[in-house]
Amino acid sequence: MTDKTLFTRIIDREIPAAIVYEDELCIAFKDLNPQAPLHVLVVPVKPLPRLSDATATDEPLLGHLLGVAARVARDAGYGEAFRLAINNGAGAGQTVFHLHVHVLAGRPFNWPPG
């Protein structure tokens, strides 16, 4: 058994993923069940379960995740139109309890979101 989250296991290369970006603070890889032509998850190395578990100490990290998300969209050719989503809690659709930013692009997006 392991206490590692699914995404920590991807970071540790125990589970394969299509990694598109990585640095000392975060990793970005393609979602296994893409909801748009571009669907990448930006995940901090620090295994914060939810955004609401972040503290003031984590604010530079949270800003970094957004910067990386924009970079991932830009590098994939979608810098002009992309959607970011963070599901916080099961009631909001979160299924993996390791903070992640969804980066979606390449199709129209409705507002308000579903």
User: Which residue ranges make up the site for ligand AMP (CB under 6 A)?
Assistant: 6, 15, 17, 31-33, 41, 87, 93-96
The nearer residue to ligand AMP, 81 or 96, going by C-beta atoms, is: 96
- For 35: left if phi > 0, alpha if psi spans -120 to 50, otherwise beta; the answer is alpha
Q: How far apart are CA 33 and CA 23, in angstroms?
A: 24
How near is the Cβ of 69 to ligand AMP at its closest, in Å? 14
C-beta of 57 vs 91, nearer to ligand AMP: 91
| Residues acting as catalytic residues | 100
3-state secondary structure of 92: helix
Smallest gap, in angstroms, from Cβ of residue 40 to ligand AMP? 9
Measured between alpha carbons, how far is 103 from 84 in angstroms, rounded to an integer?
Answer: 5
Nearer to ligand AMP, 2 or 57 (CB): 2
**Distance in Å, CB of 64 to ligand AMP, minimum:** 19
Helical H runs in 1-114?
A: 6-11, 59-75
